[in-house]
Structure 1
Amino acid sequence: MSTISHKQYVEANLRLEELLKEVDNNTPEDSPLSKELIEVSDIIEQYEEIHFPMGLPTLQEMIELRMFEMGLKRKDLAALLNTSASRISDYLNGKREITLKVAKALHQKLNIDSDIILQ
């Protein structure tokens, strides 16, 4: 895999904009424009993986996301994790490290990936 230059990345983005005006869900996958759209998207993806790596979300971001998804307030989360609301605030504000017990509960009850918990 060769390295994509910034110039190639910019050109790919410009071409992508043009292709998106011409290709839609009704365009056959084997059409030249659909194939070019995939190639251009691959160039952009390769460049962005190197130059703009996303990384994992923080534990605080994941907890807040799960709270939103599950409709939980801090006191609800505290009850679910068998701790206090003030302790939850400390975790979310980065004032306190989570305990092993809370880490297990986050993994089991909120389905937060262990890689995120341990980072």
Structure 2
Amino acid sequence: MTRFLVLYCVPSAVIEGWKRTAPETRGPAEAKMKAAWDDWMQAHAGTVNGTEAGGRTKRVASDGISDIKNDVMLYAFAEAESHDAAAQMFADHPHLQIPQASIQVMEVRAMTGP
């Protein structure tokens, strides 16, 4: 099995717009998505683990440190037989119901010594 880093992405403008949605609309929609997410996670138990939310972001570069926003909402690690199999596993993920959402699946390789 190969290990993959999974990035759940949504443009920050979409998230900000969603936060302004009326609670009576947002609440039921979020509950429905959470139920779908829980079902998806249960169906993929053992292959996806460590899903966590991203937070405020700092950009560190040779010219200094600054606050930035990026599209990463959540991240996880997954295991699959191949890169294609890992990507296919997320093809029907409930996260993709969010407008402009995407999921990036990146192979994780151990760094070799000096």
TM-score, structure 1 normalization:
0.27
- The structure with more radius of gyration: 1
Q: When you count strand as a share of all residues, which structure comes out higher?
A: 2
TM-score, structure 2 normalization:
0.28
Q: When you count helix as a share of all residues, which structure comes out higher?
A: 1
